[in-house]
């Protein structure tokens, strides 16, 4: 009991000092910490949004979207690959029931067509080695392309990763501090933005698909046709706020968002209204120049997310690839569109399925009250331990305080976040730590009183006998912490993390650390009996 080897003593002391040191940066205000030299390690426990304020958004992608746009893209690929020299003549490509069908006009060219199809479907195998498309030929010349489940899942996965990228870029453009954007599950993205003032603007920004297209207006379509929706096959009806609600445009886009290199909010040189200046890349510029040359005098529509923003007339060929988007913008909305265009198109539509926004002031109030209650509670607990266990109460108290700092220190290493349920875990851990020491102290009492042991033996047996119960109690808590972490979601996980860390530190401080203190005292004073 008394002979703690020297290395053990040092190991305990060093562990405690290191953990406490690691907890210190968390108590230093941000602006002070920023002035520290960068080589000083600064692990911190960040406060969860429920405590510090901020926005938590859970976004869900419509996976049907991915399937549909994939089919659309495939239709384009098939069309262009068949058009290549020597041309394979095919009939109309129809997209129906999640599959794509077309007919090869010359049955002798079926094999050639299949060769080309394999080029665009990536020889039928995706990254995972599984087939991405099922290709079959029916009635000797009709091709049927059907995406396989594996292919679809792969596409959704890719789309989600891209979407996560785009969302991060947009939030960063938004100028918020330390946003956290992570994928969750198959088709969800979680966005956490601490200290956000206006979640509405953020949601609007994230919600924009920002699919930009320039299409020529089909002026041959009459308003009656638009009304009845009965327009030629090559045209489509889109909504157009300014020009009477709806407008007909040709389906083929002359410019798409992927030809964009830049987008900035600016002001119209003539009337000073806000708009968005865009710059096209080489391919886009050449095509824009060509189309505007050929269609001088006709209107073209600037379309964002299938809404026509404006439909100006082409007065002269537009060379150099610079264009402006006008149409009833405010500075904010123009800026938002510029950001959305700059960060690229979202490959999927994202919907907000869960939102939690807590204002910073609310969190602050909770924290100050929580800290006050925590301090008073701790003092009361210390007082109670002192009058109950005298000297051993001092050790218990020391263990509790060290324990609290150690938990914070270790959480800081893992960069864990402290949330309200985390505080619940904290309370449980402190409770368990108190209990461990009470168990030991009571056992020492008992060994001394009931079994008439001397001071040294009482302490020794006290620790030894109590350890079993402490061990069993803590193991069960570890089990539940692990299970809760594995299965539970958000708040339950926060609880589990703190619990798991706290169990380890409370056993360490409650058993090992206090034993060291007690042994030291016993060695120095050699008391006959212990007042406990």
Partner 1 sequence: MFPLKLVPDNTNIPFLKYRNVAMVLSILLIVASIALCAVRGFNLGIDFVGGQTVRVHFDRAVPIDEIRSKMASLGFEDVTIQEFGSAQEIGIRTELPDGGDTAAEAAATKMRTTIEKGFPGARVTGVESVSSKVSNELFRTGAWALGVAMVGIALYIWFSFEWQFGVGALFALFHDVALTLGFFAVTQLEFDLNVVAAILTIIGYSLNDTIVVYDRIRENMRKYRKMEMVPLLNLSINETLSRTVVTSLSIGIVLTILLVLGPEVIFGFTASMLLGIVIGTFSSVYVSAAILLWLRLKPDSFVQKAAGDAERVTSRELP
Taking CB under 8 A as the rule, does residue 194 contact partner 1? no
The interface with partner 1 within residues 31-70 (CB under 8 A) comprises 50, 58, 60
User: Residue 187, SS3?
Assistant: coil
The interface with partner 1 within residues 213-242 (CB under 8 A) comprises none
Which one of residues 18, 135, 381, 456 is an interface residue with partner 1 (CB under 8 A)? 381
Which one of residues 35, 96, 489, 525 is an interface residue with partner 1 (CB under 8 A)? 489
Taking CB under 8 A as the rule, does residue 504 contact partner 1? no
Which one of residues 65, 162, 173, 435 is an interface residue with partner 1 (CB under 8 A)? 435
Cis peptide upstream of residue 466 (ω within 30 degrees of 0): no
Taking CB under 8 A as the rule, does residue 528 contact partner 1? no
Dihedral sign for Cα atoms in the order 304, 306, 307, 310: positive
Q: What angle do CA 417, 422, 425 make, to 5 degrees?
A: 140
Taking CB under 8 A as the rule, does residue 393 contact partner 1? yes
Which one of residues 477, 505, 509, 514 is an interface residue with partner 1 (CB under 8 A)? 477
Taking CB under 8 A as the rule, does residue 316 contact partner 1? no
Please state the closest distance from residue 200 (CB atom) to partner 1, in A.
Answer: 6
CA distance 287 to 280: 10
User: Residue 375, SS3?
Assistant: helix
Taking CB under 8 A as the rule, does residue 182 contact partner 1? no
Q: Give the DSSP H/E element, type plus range, for residue 448.
A: helix 420-449
CA distance 317 to 434: 81
The interface with partner 1 within residues 66-85 (CB under 8 A) comprises none
Report the residue number, 13 or 487, with the smaller CB distance to partner 1: 487
Which one of residues 176, 180, 295, 480 is an interface residue with partner 1 (CB under 8 A)? 480
> By CB under 8 A, how many residues form the interface with partner 1?
79
Taking CB under 8 A as the rule, does residue 423 contact partner 1? yes
CA distance 426 to 430: 6
Taking CB under 8 A as the rule, does residue 201 contact partner 1? no
Taking CB under 8 A as the rule, does residue 172 contact partner 1? no
Which one of residues 195, 299, 317, 488 is an interface residue with partner 1 (CB under 8 A)? 488
Taking CB under 8 A as the rule, does residue 439 contact partner 1? yes
x-or-dash string of contact with partner 1, 268-297, rule CB under 8 A: ------------------------------
Taking CB under 8 A as the rule, does residue 378 contact partner 1? yes
According to DSSP, residue 510 is labeled I
- Under a CB-based contact definition with an 8 Å cutoff, are residues 49 and 431 in contact? no
Report the residue number, 90 or 163, with the smaller CB distance to partner 1: 163
Which residues lie across from 102 on neighbouring strands?
Answer: 143
Buried b (16+ CB within 10 A) or exposed e, 108-140: ebbeebeebbeebbeeeebeeeebbbeeebeee
Taking CB under 8 A as the rule, does residue 354 contact partner 1? yes
- Under a CB-based contact definition with an 8 Å cutoff, are residues 25 and 487 in contact? no
Phi, psi dihedral angles at 147 (to 5 degrees): -70, 135
């Amino acid at each position: 009991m008394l002979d703690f080897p020297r290395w053990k003593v040092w190991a305990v002391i060093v562990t405690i000092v290191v953990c406490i040191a690691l907890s210190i940066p968390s108590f230093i205000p941000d602006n002070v910490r920023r002035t520290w030299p960068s080589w000083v390690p600064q692990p911190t426990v960040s406060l969860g949004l429920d405590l510090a304020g901020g926005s938590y958004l859970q976004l869900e992608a419509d996976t049907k979207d991915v399937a549909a746009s994939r089919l659309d893209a495939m239709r384009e690929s098939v069309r262009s690959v068949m058009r290549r020299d020597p041309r394979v003549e095919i009939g109309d490509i129809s997209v129906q029931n999640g599959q794509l069908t077309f007919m090869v006009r010359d049955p002798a060219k079926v094999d050639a067509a299949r060769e080309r199809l394999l080029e665009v479907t990536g020889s039928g195998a995706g990254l995972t080695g599984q087939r991405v498309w099922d290709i079959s030929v029916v009635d000797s010349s009709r091709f049927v392309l059907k995406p396989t489940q594996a292919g679809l899942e792969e596409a959704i996965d890719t789309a989600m990763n891209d979407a996560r990228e785009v969302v991060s870029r947009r939030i960063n453009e938004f100028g918020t501090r330390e946003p956290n954007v992570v994928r969750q599950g198959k088709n969800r993205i979680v966005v956490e933005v601490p200290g956000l003032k206006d979640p509405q603007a953020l949601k609007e920004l994230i919600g924009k698909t920002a699919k930009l297209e320039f299409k020529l207006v089909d002026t041959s379509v009459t308003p009656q046709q638009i009304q009845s929706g009965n327009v030629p096959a090559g045209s489509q009806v889109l909504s157009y706020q300014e020009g009477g609600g709806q407008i007909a445009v040709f389906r083929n886009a002359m410019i798409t968002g992927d030809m964009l290199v830049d987008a900035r909010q600016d002001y119209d040189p003539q009337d000073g209204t806000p708009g968005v200046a865009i710059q096209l890349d080489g391919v886009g510029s050449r095509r824009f120049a060509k189309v505007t040359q050929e269609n001088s005098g006709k209107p073209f529509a600037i379309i964002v997310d299938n809404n026509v923003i404006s439909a100006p007339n082409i007065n002269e060929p537009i060379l150099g690839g610079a264009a402006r988007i006008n149409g009833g913008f405010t500075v904010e909305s123009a800026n938002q569109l510029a950001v959305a265009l700059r960060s690229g198109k979202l490959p999927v539509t994202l919907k907000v399925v869960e939102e939690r926004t807590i204002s910073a002031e609310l969190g602050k109030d909770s924290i100050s009250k929580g800290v006050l209650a925590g301090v008073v509670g701790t003092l009361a607990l210390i007082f109670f331990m002192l009058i109950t266990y005298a000297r051993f109460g001092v050790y218990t108290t020391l263990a509790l305080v060290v324990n609290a700092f150690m938990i914070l220190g270790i959480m800081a290493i893992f960069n864990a976040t402290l949330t309200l349920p985390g505080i619940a875990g904290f309370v449980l851990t402190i409770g368990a730590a108190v209990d461990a020491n009470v168990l030991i102290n009571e056992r020492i009492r008992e060994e001394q009183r009931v079994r008439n042991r001397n001071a040294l033996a009482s302490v020794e047996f006290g620790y030894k006998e109590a350890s079993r119960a402490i061990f069993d109690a803590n193991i069960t808590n570890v089990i539940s912490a692990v299970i809760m972490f594995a299965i539970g979601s958000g708040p339950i996980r926060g609880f589990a993390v703190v619990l798991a860390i706290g169990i380890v530190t409370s056993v360490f401080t409650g058993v090992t650390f206090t034993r060291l203190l007690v042994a030291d005292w016993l060695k120095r004073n050699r008391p006959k009996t212990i007042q406990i």
